[in-house]
Structures are given as C-alpha cells and as structure tokens.
Amino acid sequence: MKFKKINKKKLLIEINNLKIIQNIFLKKYNVDDIFSNSKIFEITIANKLNHILIPGHSGSRDAKDILDNIYEYKHYKKTSSNHSWTFNDYSENTINKLKEIKSVIFAHIDDSGNQFIFDWYYEVDGKIISKYLEEKTKLIKNNRKMINVSSTQIEKFLSIRKTFTNQKISNNLYGNDLSNIYKTIANIEKITGVKNILTSNKIWEVLTSIHLNHNVNSEQGGRVGAHDAFDINNNQYEYKISKTPNWNFQDISENVLSKYNNIKYFILAIKNIDNISINRIYFVKVKELIQRIRIKLQEKKERKKGILRRLQISISLSDIKNITEKVINIT
C-alpha cells in the first residue's frame, strides 16, 4: 500500500462544504446527519421517486408522498457482496407494522461511478411483504433474526417486476443539493485517494485519519490484513468512531479477533455530527482491548444463557481507562 500525503487544509475546506450542505438539508427539509447510516441513499431514492423524507434514522419510516402515504426503503449497492435486501433484528411487531405502510421500495444503487445512481427497484405493497415475511421467518432458526429478500423471490413468489429509472439525477426536491454533495465528495476523493467516501463510516474515518497523518484503506477487508487505516511505515490501525464514548464491536469471532493482532493500535474516536468533526481520539493497546472484548462477550453470553442474536458488545471509557496509550483532543 502506497502512502499518500494529504493536503489537510484543502480537505478541511471540502469538509466545511459538507457541513454547509448538511445545514441546508436541516433548514430546508428538517433532515439532519445526512452522511451517516446510509441517509444519502434514502435521499437519492426519495429524490428519484419525488418523495418527501421523514426525519429520523434507524427505526423510523423513510419517506412519504404528497398524499401522506408512507414508504420504507431497502437498498443494496452494485459493488456489495450481498445482492439482496436485508431485514435485520425483525420481530412479530416490526413485520406487522409493514401492513400500515403503502409500500416497501426495494432499490438497487449503482455505486460503481463517481455518484450513486438509483437505477431500478421493486415496489411491494406493505401488506403483501408483511404476509410474505411472516410466512418465511417461521422457517428461520438463526438467533440473529435476519432474513434476506432477493430479486428472484420478489419476482417468483410475489409476481412483481422491477421498474427501471433514468440514469440522471432527477431535478426534483433534492436534486440540486444532491449534485452539490457529489461535487464535494468527488473533490474529497481526489484529495485523499479514498473511494466510496459516502459508504459505511468512511467519511468519519477520513476525518479521523487527517489528524493522525494516516491513510484510509478504500477496500477494507478486501486484502488479508487490511484494516481501516495505515501510516507512512505501513503500520495498520482499526478505527471505531461514535457520537458518544461507547464504541460498538459487531460480529465478533475468533477469526476477527485474531486479525486485530496485526494492528498497532485501536483508534477510538468521538465525532461531532453537527460540525462534521472529530473531537477526541484514543490510542488503545491492542492485546489488552482484545482481552476486554472477550471478557465482555463472555459476560453477555452468560447473561443471555448462551443465546445471542448478535456477537456484539460496547466498549466504554471505563473499559479503556487503564489501557489507553494516549489521547488527542482536537481543537
């Protein structure tokens, strides 16, 4: 991996442009935190379908039309390894609630270029998808309570055909602001060499890395030993970034934990969503934190009598109090 020297001043100018755009979304549409939790995909879908976004993130409905019909969005990206739509942590209650909405939009996002293109989708009536999931989830035995819905299932069992859209950003409610986002993101990708800035947590990783003179890996996990970031000496780092001093470690396995042995430090950072900035960064010792993760996971298994829906735990300030090498406060 070749290290790239980043122009911090230029990068922070573009980050400030993102802050301006986010403030515009809050003022004009009452939608905030547009660069987290896949909100950009919801904006893209709503703009194409001429829907109005419903403020909120996880757990809320996504959009409505001018008649106040409610929609839920599911999407997957062209470059994703999973070409289906996922319902995570479902329950009888969440499945029943789908009956109350007009439709679920199962969207496909082409992310192979320099902007996200919402190019086709299925629209499934809320009552129909609720009944379908109710039947299919009876057969699922996994503790995680997760089910995937594929194009084949929608077409074969629900007899619904996909709808294709045009390839351009529609000049609807969010069109101009979306164009400005993509222009700014293109500039950030050029400065950093990092692609797919708007996917996952990457924009926050880039913001953290600039304070540490690190480079962010564009394809994390795509190569053996590839982690979130690396320095000029090719030391690798694992980033966890949160709004509060509680950092989630998900899908923990011995294989994942063993890969952490290759890194120099865990980097735990606290972000400020409103300012699109990083406030504080903790350098945490690797072996000690891995041991703490194991202990907390075992404690959770004992509390749950060995039945866990997800192998995940939260690390707090008290967990890292005695295993933090140094702390950086960003002013």
Residues 211 and 131 in one domain: no
Domain range for 21 is 8-164
- Tell me, yes or no, whether 17 and 160 share the same domain: yes
pLDDT of residue 174: 94
Are 114 and 64 contained in the same domain? yes
CATH label of the domain that carries residue 107: 3.40.210.10
Domain end marker among 164, 192, 217 = 164
Residue 210, domain member (yes or no):
yes
Helix 151-158 vs helix 126-136: crossing angle, to nearest 10: 100
294 and 217 assigned to the same domain: yes
pLDDT of residue 2: 87
- pLDDT digits 0-9 by tens, 288-310: 999 999 999 999 888 877 666 67
Q: Do both 64 and 205 map to the same domain?
A: no
* Residue 24, pLDDT score: 95
pLDDT of residue 223: 47
Residue 180 lies in a domain: no
Q: Give 158-193 pLDDT, tens digit per residue.
A: 999 999 998 777 788 999 999 999 999 999 999 999
- My answer on whether 153 and 59 are in the same domain is yes
Q: Is residue 182 part of a domain?
A: no
Question: How many degrees, rounded to 5, is the angle at CA 286 between CA 283 and CA 289?
Answer: 90
- The reply to whether 43 falls in a domain is yes
Residue 192: inside a domain: no
What global pTM score does this model have? 0.87
Ranges of residues in the chain with a pLDDT under 50 are 222-225
**Domain check: are 20 and 157 in the same one?**
yes
Whether residue 320 is contained in a domain is answered as: yes
Number of domain units in the chain: 2
The confidence score (pLDDT) of residue 115 equals 78
Average pLDDT in the chain: 90
Whether residues 152 and 17 share a domain: the answer is yes
Report pLDDT for 225.
47
